[in-house]
């Protein structure tokens, strides 16, 4: 039974999704609506109808047309006169080439809302599309019939003509939904294609083409599910037929093509698509739970099957790797646990114990690498309660009282540090969010004091800053965080490709730069130096600015060269950074080091960094964006001259005297 608090939570999630829609964050909005639906029951008809209708929009914007059609249909089950749901389903069906059904939806929507111009435009477009489809259908039928005659009925003159016929069928299936539907022919084309694919007497290229045609026609989720169940009345045997298609031939090209078919099956069972960044739908996964179990059990049995070849075994491991891991975009949370508990882990460990020279079943020298990656991802996907708690804490840390409670609990701060070390990139966003909230490093709107006074005069409510979010409290929190290892925790989770997470980390580090109590320890110095060489523009600029400020201290400069063992390579990356501003700031730091101490300057001149600095000083007027970087490089070389470490060449003296460049601009 759904409680009132869950209903309130679902409403708030719906509002959060609506806000994300206004910002154009379609994936984020989709996640909010999905989570809200899980908190409602069938009795909450109005709320569920709105959630399905709104999620249909997010899926439409992300080109998930099958998902849009499904959600709009569910919304219409609650309210058959929902104009928006009818319109969105019509748009989705138009893209799915189901023109007749789209026309019916658009016509009904126009009847309910006759003044809506967008619906009337859609209806006119569908009329034209329907006429074109009739013409194309006649032509498509003839093309498919001709190619099928050559490919399946033995009417081809020779092998080349037969191969060409299969390739033409593949093109027809790939280019249009109508072509795929004609070849599918209500499932009648599948047995023919399977017999060709599994026939070892057929040339390899024809078998591969047959498998690829199958792959194209089951891109449609409905056809994929029918394909999974059509081979036998016993579901387990039918799933075995599909999974074992990979075993028909041992050629890599064939195994790769047939492995894609199993991936299509997983996509259909949970309505996901990695290529379009469409996450799995928990409701669909729950409805197809039995089929998911059957497919996973069959793949699990293939891991230790003596009749399965090494290349097929590796493909099975890769398929499990792609689909079991929820944290990596696979099927919903929990399936990796079930796989591990139901002897799946034992099967993987058994495979890992085999060597090609002495094995119970065929493996190659690469098989262990596949298993190692799969085991690592399984371990990462076993999401512990600590990570769930971390996610909840990230929401609570917006409250000022909670912030003070967190920093007052040293055991909690150490637990966050330990979690960062063990979980790494799996909780980077939530940990970064917590630290940003605690340091008040998030973006704040500028408040005009005169407008505040005007609002107070008009007796309007004016939001006030909580007294525990004032500068004194924030500074104490930052100091406490640093003492308890927050910087090291962020370093532990920093290896991520998420731009949003990196931006949060950069925001969290920024309050440290100008803090007078900031202790320039080795770990923090390493952090700024290494981050200054990162490719990400925002992170590199923030880190290079901190690097430039810290290098004003000669003691810090000595520690950089002493403790950062790879400083020559890092300095070269900083000096050659693609972003002109990050390059300028980084070179400012290098120049500061060279000016601060003769010994440090000599070490830099003796390294490869010196040649890079010389090259940068030669950049001409065409590199106007790099002018600031050129000036900083010249400053560093001037320091080396002042210490007597280098001397200008005759050519350089001539250039300085005559204020001209002797390098020709290209």
Q: What integer pLDDT is reported at residue 1 of this predicted model?
A: 41
Sequence-ordered alpha helix ranges (H) in 271-333:
282-287, 289-303, 310-324
Q: DSSP assignment of 33-56, as one string?
A: HHHHHHT--TT-HHHHHHHHHHHH
Q: What integer pLDDT is reported at residue 444 of this predicted model?
A: 63
Could you tell me the two tokens for 26?
A: 């379609």
- CATH class of the domain whose range is 218-381: mainly alpha
Q: What integer pLDDT is reported at residue 6 of this predicted model?
A: 47
Q: What integer pLDDT is reported at residue 626 of this predicted model?
A: 84
**Under 8 Å between Cβ of 357 and 295:** no
Q: What integer pLDDT is reported at residue 3 of this predicted model?
A: 47
Task: Walk along the chain (666 residues) in steps of 10 and give the mean pLDDT of each run.
Answer: 53 88 90 87 86 92 90 90 92 88 90 88 86 69 78 79 88 85 86 90 91 92 92 91 92 93 92 81 88 92 93 94 74 76 88 88 92 85 66 81 86 80 69 80 65 65 66 79 73 68 70 53 57 69 80 83 81 85 88 90 90 84 81 89 83 69 56
Q: Which of 607, 609, 612, 602 is nearest to 641 (CA)?
A: 602
pTM score above 0.75: no
Using the structure block, give the residue that is written with the tokens 């093109």.
171
3-state secondary structure of 482: helix
Strand partners of residue 36: none
Q: What integer pLDDT is reported at residue 280 of this predicted model?
A: 84
Q: Which of 441, 444, 440 is nearest to 403 (CA)?
A: 440
Task: Indicate the domain borders of the chain.
Answer: 4-115, 218-381, 520-666
Homologous superfamily (CATH) for 4-115 = Tetratricopeptide repeat domain (1.25.40.10)
Q: How far apart are CA 245 and CA 238, in angstroms?
A: 11
**Under 8 Å between Cβ of 271 and 67:** yes
Q: What integer pLDDT is reported at residue 2 of this predicted model?
A: 44
- CATH number for the region 520-666 comes to 1.25.10.10
3-state secondary structure of 273: strand
DSSP state of 625: G
Do 218-381 and 520-666 have matching folds?
yes
Q: DSSP assignment of 259-276, as one string?
A: HHHHHHHHHHHHT-BGGG
In this structure, is the dihedral angle defined by the CA atoms of residues 15, 16, 21 and 22, taken in order, positive or negative?
A: positive
């Amino acid at each position: 039974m759904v409680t009132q608090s869950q209903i309130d939570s679902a409403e708030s999630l719906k509002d959060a999704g609506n806000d994300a829609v206004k910002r154009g964050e379609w994936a984020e909005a989709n996640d909010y609506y999905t989570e809200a639906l899980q908190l409602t029951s069938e009795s909450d008809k109005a709320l569920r109808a709105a959630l399905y209708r709104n999620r249909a929009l997010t899926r439409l914007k992300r080109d998930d047309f099958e998902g849009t059609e499904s959600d709009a249909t569910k919304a219409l089950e609650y309210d058959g006169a929902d104009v928006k749901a009818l319109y969105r389903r019509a748009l989705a069906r138009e893209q799915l080439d189901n023109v007749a059904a789209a026309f019916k939806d658009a016509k009904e929507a126009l009847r309910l809302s006759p003044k809506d111009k967008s619906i009337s435009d859609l209806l006119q477009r569908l009329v034209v599309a329907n006429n074109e489809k009739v013409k194309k259908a006649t032509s498509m039928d003839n093309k498919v019939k001709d190619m099928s005659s050559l490919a399946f009925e033995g009417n081809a003159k020779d092998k080349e003509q037969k191969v060409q016929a299969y390739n033409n069928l593949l093109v027809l299936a790939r280019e249009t939904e109508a072509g795929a539907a004609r070849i599918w022919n209500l499932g009648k084309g599948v047995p023919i294609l399977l017999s060709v694919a599994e026939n070892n007497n057929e040339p390899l290229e024809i078998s591969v083409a047959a498998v690829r045609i199958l792959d194209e026609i089951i891109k449609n989720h409905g056809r994929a599910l029918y394909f999974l169940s059509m081979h036998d009345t016993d579901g387990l045997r039918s799933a075995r037929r599909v999974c074992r298609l990979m075993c028909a031939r041992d050629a890599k090209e064939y195994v790769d093509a047939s492995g894609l078919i199993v991936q299509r099956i997983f996509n259909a069972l949970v309505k996901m698509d990695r290529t379009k960044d469409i996450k799995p739908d928990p409701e669909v996964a729950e409805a197809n739970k039995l089929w998911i179990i059957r497919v996973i059990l069959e793949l699990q049995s293939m891991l230790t099957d003596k009749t399965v070849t090494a290349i097929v075994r590796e493909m099975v491991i890769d398929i499990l790797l792609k689909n079991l891991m929820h944290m990596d975009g696979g099927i919903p949370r929990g399936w990796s646990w079930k796989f591990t508990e139901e002897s799946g882990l034992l099967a993987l460990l058994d495979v890992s114990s085999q060597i090609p020279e002495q094995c119970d079943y065929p493996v190659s020298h690469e098989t262990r690498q596949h298993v190692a990656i799969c085991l690592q991802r399984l371990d990462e996907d076993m999401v512990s309660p600590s990570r769930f708690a971390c996610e909840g804490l990230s929401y609570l840390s917006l409250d000022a009282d909670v912030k003070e409670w967190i920093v007052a609990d040293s055991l909690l701060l150490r637990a966050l540090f330990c979690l960062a070390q063990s979980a790494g990139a799996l909780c980077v966003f939530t940990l970064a969010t917590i630290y940003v909230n605690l340091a008040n490093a998030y973006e704040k709107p500028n408040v005009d004091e005169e407008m505040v006074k005007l609002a107070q005069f008009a007796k309007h409510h004016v939001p006030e800053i909580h007294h525990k979010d004032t500068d004194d409290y924030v500074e104490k929190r930052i100091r406490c965080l640093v003492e308890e290892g927050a910087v090291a925790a962020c370093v532990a989770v920093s290896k991520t490709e998420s731009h949003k997470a990196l931006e949060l980390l950069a925001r969290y580090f920024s309050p440290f730069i100008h803090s007078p109590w900031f202790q320039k320890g080795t770990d923090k110095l390493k952090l700024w130096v290494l981050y200054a060489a990162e490719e990400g523009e925002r992170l590199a600029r923030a880190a290079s600015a901190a690097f430039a400020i810290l290098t004003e201290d000669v003691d810090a400069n000595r520690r950089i060269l002493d403790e950062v063992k790879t400083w020559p390579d890092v300095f070269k990356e900083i000096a050659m950074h693609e972003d002109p501003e990050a390059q300028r700031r980084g070179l400012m730091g290098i120049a500061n080091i060279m000016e601060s101490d003769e010994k440090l300057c000599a070490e830099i001149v003796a390294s490869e960094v010196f040649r890079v600095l010389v090259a940068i000083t030669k950049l001409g007027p065409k590199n106007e964006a790099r002018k600031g970087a050129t000036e900083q490089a010249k400053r560093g070389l001037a320091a080396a001259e002042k210490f007597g470490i280098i001397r200008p060449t005759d050519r350089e003296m001539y250039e300085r005297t005559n204020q001209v460049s002797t390098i020709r601009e290209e």
